[in-house]
Amino acid sequence: MSAVAEKGTGTKNFLTGLKEAIREEMLRNERMVCMGEDIGILGGAFGVTEGLQAEFGPQRVIDAPISEAAIVGSAIGMAMMDRPVMVEMQFMDFISCGFDQIVNNAATMHYRTAGDVSLPIVIRGPSGGYGGGGPYHSQQNESWFAHSPGLKVVVPSTPLDAKGLLKSALRDPNPVIFYEVKELYRKREIEQMFPREDYLVPLGKASVRREGSDVTLVSYGNPVYFCLEAADKLAEQGIQAEVIDLRTLVPLDEEAILTSIAKTHRVVVVNEASRTCGFAGEIVARINEAGFELLDAPPLRVTREDTPVPWVKPLELHVLPSVDDIVQAATKVVRF
């Protein structure tokens, strides 16, 4: 697989990038607080907030009751009083329990107050499948929030981006929904060296993970690595694939996508979420609107099937996108 990460002594994983980002922003801004279920004494379900309550105290790292609606509602109130809030969802599947507070209150507050009120809130947590979590612990539901004006949506794929994007999100004056694909948390193959200085990645800027001339593969989160592996397999057939990692869905870096398609004239868009109304469809629509004349073949999507994610491993792998699915789609558009 093509390497995104720089491996070796001193490298750090995705989870560490998140942990460092939160701690550094807590140190930088003494008004910032963290809220979530079991994020204090336990340190979070996956250990992202481990040690933070001991360092900053229970008034800044708050163990909340099991009510996502109450957590987000409380965070909105704090943010209105100029207290930036990091909200952890134990799993992003359960963000739906706080849906009303997020899309009807947090997303609209800046608009409804004619810009007088900002809500510096980041709602983050683990998402995605491939780990045998079943339908309640495997969702990738980012399109819900990309559809709600007023929310930014971020899905990093590398440890450095996890850190840099989360720090940028925590400094943003308005709500950000931040997806962390849990399969990447401790994945050793993608570990990276971290710079000593303050490290930020701007929201709304995609990254070219691999350059190519024959077909563009557009993705974000875990499927970026599937695209890179597919690009290796395509190269064996003489097909050079370019891989674009969006990193941020809202705002979307359309320029990066169109620049790549202007070179390759073919595109496959990959997302882990289900096909109908998934974000891959939005990307294809924008390509058709803004870059139709650049295309030599119809854009294709590779997505999860329109079904809940099964618990049984063979069925889970059957419905989720795979490297072979991407290779087949890319080969099809190249041969069109």
- A 10 A CB-CB count for 235 gives 15
Residue 296 main-chain phi, psi, to 5 deg: -105, 0
Vertex 89 angle, CA 169 and 276, to 5°: 85
Q: Determine which one of 110, 137, 265, 318 is catalytic.
A: 137
Side chain identity at 224, as an amino acid letter?
V
SS3 218: strand
Segment (H or E) for 176: strand 176-181
Whole-angstrom Cα Rg for the chain: 20
Task: Evaluate whether 247 touches 259 at the Cβ level (below 8 Å).
Answer: no
Is 147 labeled as catalytic in the residue annotation?
A: no
Six token digits for residue 77: 């109130």
Task: Evaluate whether 304 touches 118 at the Cβ level (below 8 Å).
Answer: no
Residues with catalytic roles: 137
